[in-house]
Structure 1
Amino acid sequence: MNALAIKRGASRHSAYDLRNPLGDHQETHTLAVLVDNEAGVLARVIGLFSGRGYNIDSLTVAETDHEGHRSRITIVTTGTPAVIEQIKAQLGRMVPVHEVHDLTVEGPAVERELALIKVAGTGERRVEAMRLADVFRARVVDTTLESFVFEITGAPEKVDAFVSLMRPLGVVDVARTGVAAIARGADGILASRPMP
């Protein structure tokens, strides 16, 4: 129990959030980092995390501005508020990094993940797997007489729930892309650059 008796998980958007910003509770944050698309940049960013013992829960990277040779790295990480602030500050000081945005605190954001789940089973298990896939709006992208490969897209929590319900039905393999996230509204990381 903390000194102010504030329930853990109280909204970070509340005007009355009195939790100590340097407290010891763990938070998960989604960071969007705009970097130069050049050799070694991803290794440097990952080296920053591994060198200081920070964990990366999810990592996705792709070129988003071909003409400007810029890539966007989306990192989901967990740490205390002080650690998260330190990560953002250290990322911002790196030479190939142009912008660092904490999508968790900057306002509403959309987070999605794609997963492929292979489920092996016959008979009643096969029917139940199809029923669950329909509920979660997962698509069958490959099938044999003894297995399915489902494709599901959604928030990471939705993917987690689908995988956990499929496990008793015979999950053989799972491949996940990691989180892709973008802020809601008209503003964005590339808004200052005219798009072609």
Structure 2
Amino acid sequence: MHIREEQRERHTLAVLVDNEPGILARIAGLFSGRGYNIESLTVTDVSEDESVSRITIVTSASPATLEQVIAQLDRLVPVHKVVDLTAAGPHVERELALVKVKGTGDHRIEALRLADVYRARVVDATTTSFVFEVTGGTDKIDKFVELMREVGLIEVARTGIVAIARGTEAA
């Protein structure tokens, strides 16, 4: 008998939580303890009095596993709300990366040309290197980093994905 492996889909979750010590560790523990992978994780305070934080989690899972993850997140005491932005409809996702590239001669010119095409800003420069800031979707950043490998990539630092639903509704 052939058992079909369930298709994994990428989902972006917005989780509103009490801003208290240990909540991020509890959420990460929920994922790791059950063998779920977190592809991207960002956290920020979202309330005026700093009492609520928003955690954006990108994960890939089968529909059944994702349903289980959301249910388990919802049961954690300091969690106020879990929204699957992917399932909820249109949303905007962005990421920021700092990309350090060595550059002299023709490689320097090519790095600057590519940065212009990708709308990357030079945020630091020396006579032998650049640090570019690039924002956009994950695919854009992946491609920019791949191209910079060819001209002298030194190092990459990425923020992880932030996302927000389109329209007038809040997560």
Shorter-chain TM-score: what band?
A: over 0.9
Structure with higher helix content: 2
Give the Cα–Cα distance (whole angstroms) in 1 for the partners of residues 125 and 111 of structure 2. 12
Unaligned segments of structure 2, at least 5 residues: none
Contact 1:120 1:147 in 2 (8 A): yes
Residue 157 of structure 1, CA deviation: 1.0
User: How many correspondences in the alignment?
Assistant: 168
Residue 166 (structure 2) pairs with residue 175 (structure 1): no
- Measure the CA separation in 1 of the matches of 2:59 and 2:106: 39
* Cα shift at 1:26: 1.1
Counting only pairs closer than 5 Å after superposition, residues 59-78 of structure 1 correspond to structure 2 as 59-67=41-49, 69-78=51-60
Name the CA distance, whole Å, in 2 between partners of 1:171 and 1:66: 40
Shift in CA distance, 124/48, structure 1 to aligned 2, threshold 3 Å: same
* Residue 116 (structure 2) aligned to one of 121, 129, 134: 134
Larger relative contact order (Cα-Cα within 8 Å, sequence gap ≥ 6): 2
Q: CA deviation at 1:141?
A: 0.1
TM-score by length of 1: 0.84
Look up the equivalent residue of 1:77 and give its one-letter code: T
State TM-score, norm by structure 2.
Answer: 0.96
* Corresponding residue number in structure 1 for 2:87: 105
2:29 alignment counterpart: 47
State how far apart, in whole Å, the 2-side matches of 1:151 and 1:175 are: 10
Deviation (angstroms), 1:87: 0.6
C-alpha displacement at 1:81, in angstroms?
1.0
Task: Quote the offset at 1:67 in angstroms.
Answer: 2.1
Of 24-33 and 67-76, deviating more is 67-76
Supply the distance in 1 between the matched residues of 2:32 and 2:50 (Cα, whole angstroms): 29
State yes or no: 1:115 paired with 2:97: yes
Measured after TM superposition, the shift of residue 23 of structure 1 is 6.4
Letter in 1 for 2:52: R
Q: Look up the match of 1:90.
A: 72
Percent of residue pairs identical: 63
**Per-residue deviation, 1:79:** 1.1
The letter of the residue matching 1:187 is E
Partner SS state of residue 55, structure 1: coil
